[in-house]
């Protein structure tokens, strides 16, 4: 019996190598967008973040399509009233 020899399976590139490639200049827009979709599918959030930074820097139109407008650099945390302040507030009577 002859067994078919299958081609050896290449291991996927390490995340570090992918991040190096993304952070370096020179990847075309289509490759970055494809990498974004693959990283999302595989839940590689560090790669998604690196791709977003590179796309926003090099291809702002593509980045806006994928991520929307830029996020504010510093955002204030939401104001949450304490329970004491809510309880101490006067209650308005309805209908009067």
Residue 39: CB atoms within 10 Å:
21
How much is the average pLDDT of 20-25?
86
Answer with the residue of higher pLDDT: 87 or 45: 45
Give the pLDDT band of residue 26 (cuts 50, 70, 90): confident
pLDDT tens digits for range 51-94: 999 999 999 999 999 888 876 655 555 555 555 655 665 665 65
Tokens at 88, concatenated: 């101490």
| Distance separating alpha carbons of residues 36 and 39, to the nearest angstrom | 5
Residue 39 CA, distance from chain mean position: 9
Tokens at 81, concatenated: 């009233």
| pTM of structure | 0.60
pLDDT at 32: 93
Q: Specify the 3-state DSSP secondary structure of 69.
A: coil
| Sequence-separated (6 or more) residues with CB below 8 Å from residue 61 | none
């Amino acid at each position: 019996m002859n067994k078919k020899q299958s081609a050896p399976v290449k291991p996927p590139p390490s995340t570090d190598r992918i991040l190096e490639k993304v952070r370096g200049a020179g990847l075309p827009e289509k490759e970055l967008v494809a990498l974004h979709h693959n990283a999302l599918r595989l839940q590689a959030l560090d790669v998604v973040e690196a791709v977003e930074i590179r796309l926003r820097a090099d291809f702002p139109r593509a980045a806006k399509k994928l991520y929307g407008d830029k996020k504010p650099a510093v955002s204030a945390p939401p104001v949450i009233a304490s329970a004491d302040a809510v309880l101490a507030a006067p209650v308005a009577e309805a209908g009067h």
